[in-house]
Amino acid sequence: MTNHFEEPPENINDNKQEAKERFIRLPEVKLRTGLSRSTIYAGISKGIFPKSVSLGERSIGWLESEINAWIEARIQKSRT
């Protein structure tokens, strides 16, 4: 069986901002954005939605901060 986990860097907790970062999975991305799966992937292809990150052989997620920034940008765009 293949080990899918790498050793964490020694300074993993040195930066408190990094320690707060987390991955969110597709169901939560859909819930937060109100977008469908196909719309999310179309946005990634067009370069207008954050790219997913591989978490393992058959698992992906998105950085929560990138999804939050995308949502905030949509709000700001609608207010101008």
Helix H, strand E, coil C: the string for 1-66 is CCCCCCCCCCCCCCCHHHHHCCEECHHHHHHHHCCCHHHHHHHHHHCCCCCCEEEECCEEEEEHHH
Is 57's pLDDT higher than 90? yes
Domain residue ranges of the chain, discontinuous segments joined by +? 23-79
Is 68's pLDDT higher than 80? yes
Q: What is the pLDDT of residue 80?
A: 87
Q: What is the pLDDT of residue 20?
A: 85
Supply the DSSP symbol for 80. -
Is 3's pLDDT higher than 60? no
Whole-prediction pTM? 0.75
pLDDT in tens, 18-51: 558 999 999 999 999 999 999 999 999 999 999 9
Q: Which helix (H) or strand (E) holds 70?
A: helix 64-79
> How many Cβ atoms from other residues are within 10 Å of residue 62's Cβ?
24
Is 73's pLDDT higher than 70? yes
